[in-house]
Amino acid sequence: MEREDFMREAIRISRENMERGGGPFGAVIVRDGRVIARSGNTVALENDPTAHAEINAIQQASDYLNDFDLSGCELYSSCEPCPMCLGAIYWARIDRVWYAADRDDAAEAGFDDSFIYREMQKPVEERSIPTRQKLREEALKTFYEWQEKEDKIQY
């Protein structure tokens, strides 16, 4: 398959997913020229705000490969990944991301993530969701223990 075919598959999934009652988003993860995961956005279907197409596909690919490191994989999305999905993509170490519609197209369709991008740029104290730090010293002890742990799995 060619890159356009993978993208068309992500778009096909987005349409099919929308017809089932989910959001109009689809994602495909490819490794070595083969699709290893595909999903639509199931936020409304599963009542899970994190069930975006990219997140679902990352979970499937991780299960398939039995690994949290998706190096060597490419992700094809029917739309530019939102901030949450982009974070997951970086954590998964996906090599490359391809997308069709962009964030402005999504906003025009009623999926506007621009406020999240703005919030992320603000100092913690100025964000619209009150966020305050507590018990830092107690939490740091766990990090110190992690640093000394001999049998940890680095990620």
Active site residues: 54
Q: What share of the chain is helix, strand, coil (3-state, %, to 5)?
A: 50, 20, 35
Residues 40 and 25: beta-carbon distance below 8 Å: yes
Is 28 buried (19+), middle (13-18) or exposed (0-12) by CB count in 10 A? buried
Residues 114 and 103: beta-carbon distance below 8 Å: yes
> Both tokens of residue 106?
């999504």
Amino acid at 40: G
Q: Which residues contact 74 (CB under 8 A, 6 or more apart)?
A: 6, 29, 30, 31, 94, 95, 96, 97, 98
- Nearest to residue 100, comparing CAs of 22, 25, 16? 25
